[in-house]
Amino acid sequence: MTGTLLLLLLLPLLHPTPSRAASKPNFVLIMADDLGIGDPGCYGNKTLRTPNIDGLAHGGVKLTQHLAASPLCTPSRAAFMTGRYPIRSGMASKSRVGVFLFSASSGGLPNNEVTFAKLLKNEGYATALIGKWHLGTHCHNKTDFCHHPSSHGFDYFHGLPVTNLRDCKPGEGSVFTSGIRLLVFVPLQILALALLTLGALRWLGLLQVPVPVLVCLVLLACALLGLLLCFLHFFRPLNCFLMRDRDISQQPLSYDNLTQRLTEDALQFVRRNADTPFLLLFSCIQVHTALFAAKDFAGRSQHGAYGDAAEEMDWAVGQILDVLEELRLTNNTLVYFTSDQGAHVEEVTAKGERHGGSNGIYKGGKGNNWEGGIRVPGLLRWPGVLQAGLEIAEPTSNMDVFPTLLGLAGAALPDDRIIDGRDLMPLLQGKSQRSDHEFLFHYCNFYLNAVRWHPRNSSSVWKAFFFTPKFTPEGANGCFPTHVCFCHGHFVTRHHPPLLFDLSRDPGERSPVTPSTEPRFWDILATMQDAADRHARTVQEVPNQLSLPNLLWKPWLQMCCRSSPGLSCQCPREKQGRGRSP
């Protein structure tokens, strides 16, 4: 009897039950919005308090040459989700507008693109996106949800289908100021001048101007003013709202404790799925303008409203790390932290307050491919698997997350398309000392802007620009009159030969090399041009999701909360409940 009892006690040790923890890790991906690489303390900031983000660096791996595949939100996020350059999915604009601005646009991440969420869901993962999406919602009608997160592998979504804008917060100004000036104020001035001129000529008897002509001009001016007033009145409720799954939960969104609400939902998702593999993409709404922070953070930082928002975001990161620790999931969870692109240096208020972040020593920022626009924080923590405190200076991309997650989950990469990302694990675990990216290609929207080359037998990192944005005013570090740099036409300077930098010696891109300072100048450029040509041959023409027809507001795609009549769209109290949450 005693022997039998002892055998029963030893059986679990002799034949341990396979645990779900041993088979598939959890993934927590945290993406900040417009956070500069110079903002976190672990990247050199001495005055902005980011202890939780810094803790990821101390307890994991810090990438110091981690790159966004695009310097703008929508294309960067498309690349992140698919592991592919955004031009391959049609998420690269040919016009000045490179992102979605309206909830009722018809463009978005195509259904034939495969996201890591969709593939992980097929592997049994519970998947959630909490925060910002910005990759479209509808195609043909407001019930198809063809671009919605639920159509791209996420079981649960709670957040903004588009993005946070100044226009979403009363009193914070507008991102459409330049457009309004061009499309409304200039025509109004022309109409006013025409009315005054024709009226004076008629009064002086020099020209017989029919009264109906003057009336038509007045009516046209009134129509322009009416359209402007309608736009200003309706933009916020029609575009700034929260969704829970496929339902609107608050319209227009309220910034009151917004970070706390989204963070709490993320914690609940983790708790509900503690016993199953899960993917949580916590896509922070901060620190994109309009800036906001709860009362516990407002006015507490040394960097005004921007610093308050950044420190509140760091608090949210800490809450997520704490719940992993509480549930004893830390050692089986890969945590990744990044930003979708560099800080928006042109974000300065009418009062001169700086509402953009810091890109450290790097030139440029959001909207351009100088290092400040694409070099972003890259932190990965997985205790027991990744070495704590390790720094890696090799070129890596946010596209690399796609194959890395699939490899860890045991899922196969799609074999019917080109995947531009590379599995990071050999580099992170020290099995390889070199990045798998010999070449990386930097697009400014649709246009190939620059090529990066890290030769296999060299420590150099060469970067060649085919064109660069014209910073304005002269001597500035951005394109302040247009709020963001544009990618073509008279807004850029083309370089023949390309402008060449060695980032290993000049990371701030201050002094381009020349044939007189670099004997291999022409050979280096020839190699990079050849790589660009080979890459171009792999890019197939696809429908442009950011074309003008796809970007425009379409009334038949406009969503409005069910309890609100017409276009008033007022549901100020956020609806609670888990919806379809797993």
Of 378, 396, 400, whose CA–CA distance to 84 is shortest?
400
CB 421 within 8 A of CB 82: no
Instruction: Give pairs for 21-24: CB < 8 Å, separation 24+.
Output: 21/332, 23/277, 23/410, 24/123, 24/124, 24/125, 24/277, 24/408, 24/409, 24/410
CB 98 within 8 A of CB 445: yes
Query: Which residues carry out catalysis?
Result: 73, 134
- Helices (H), ranges, 240-370: 258-272, 304-326
Task: Please tell me the predicted confidence (pLDDT) of residue 578.
Answer: 47
Task: Please tell me the predicted confidence (pLDDT) of residue 16.
Answer: 41
Q: Residue 287: enclosing H or E segment and its boundaries?
A: none
Residues contacting residue 219 through CB under 8 Å, at least 6 positions apart: none
Q: Which two tokens stand for residue 120?
A: 């992980």
Residues contacting residue 25 through CB under 8 Å, at least 6 positions apart: 277, 332, 333, 334, 382, 408, 409
Of 372, 374, 536, whose CA–CA distance to 448 is shortest?
536
Q: In this structure, which amino acid lies at residue 198?
A: L
Tokens 């009315």 belong to 195
Report how far residue 441's alpha carbon sits from residue 463's, in angstroms, rounded to the nearest whole number.
Answer: 10
Look at residue 188 and give its three-state secondary structure.
Answer: helix
Task: Please tell me the predicted confidence (pLDDT) of residue 574.
Answer: 77
What is the DSSP secondary structure assignment for residue 146, as one 8-state letter? T
| pTM, rounded to two decimals | 0.91
User: In this structure, are strands 242-244 and 247-250 parallel, antiparallel, or unpaired?
Assistant: antiparallel
List, in sequence order, every beta strand (DSSP E) within 99-144: 126-132
Q: In this structure, which amino acid lies at residue 253?
A: L
Residue 148: φ, ψ to 5°:
-65, 150
CB 251 within 8 A of CB 155: no
Q: Quote the distance between the C-alpha of residue 290 and its chain's center.
A: 15
CB 488 within 8 A of CB 456: no
CB 311 within 8 A of CB 48: yes
Report how far residue 255's alpha carbon sits from residue 260's, in angstroms, rounded to the nearest whole number.
Answer: 10
Residue 462: φ, ψ to 5°:
-90, 140
Task: Please tell me the predicted confidence (pLDDT) of residue 169.
Answer: 92
Q: Give the Å distances, CA to CA, from 384 to 59, 391, 559.
A: 10, 16, 47
Report how far residue 309's alpha carbon sits from residue 312's, in angstroms, rounded to the nearest whole number.
Answer: 5
The sheet carrying 447-453 orders its strands as 439-444, 447-453, 462-469, 492-502
Look at residue 423 and give its three-state secondary structure.
Answer: coil
Report how far residue 508's alpha carbon sits from residue 500's, in angstroms, rounded to the nearest whole number.
Answer: 13
Look at residue 186 and give its three-state secondary structure.
Answer: helix
Q: Which two tokens stand for residue 458?
A: 């060299």
Q: For the chain (length 582 residues), average pLDDT per consecutive 10?
A: 45 42 84 97 95 97 98 97 98 94 95 97 97 96 95 97 93 83 82 84 81 84 85 87 94 95 97 96 96 94 95 98 97 97 92 91 97 98 96 97 97 96 96 95 97 95 97 93 93 96 97 95 97 97 96 93 71 62 52
Of 164, 180, 177, 31, whose CA–CA distance to 100 is shortest?
164
Task: Please tell me the predicted confidence (pLDDT) of residue 567.
Answer: 65
CB 158 within 8 A of CB 152: no
Q: Give the Å distances, CA to CA, from 371 to 254, 342, 393, 422, 450.
A: 34, 8, 14, 21, 11
Residue 140: φ, ψ to 5°:
-115, -30
Report how far residue 392's alpha carbon sits from residue 65's, in angstroms, rounded to the nearest whole number.
Answer: 8
User: In this structure, are strands 278-283 and 333-339 parallel, antiparallel, or unpaired?
Assistant: unpaired
Strand-pair partners of 131: 159, 283
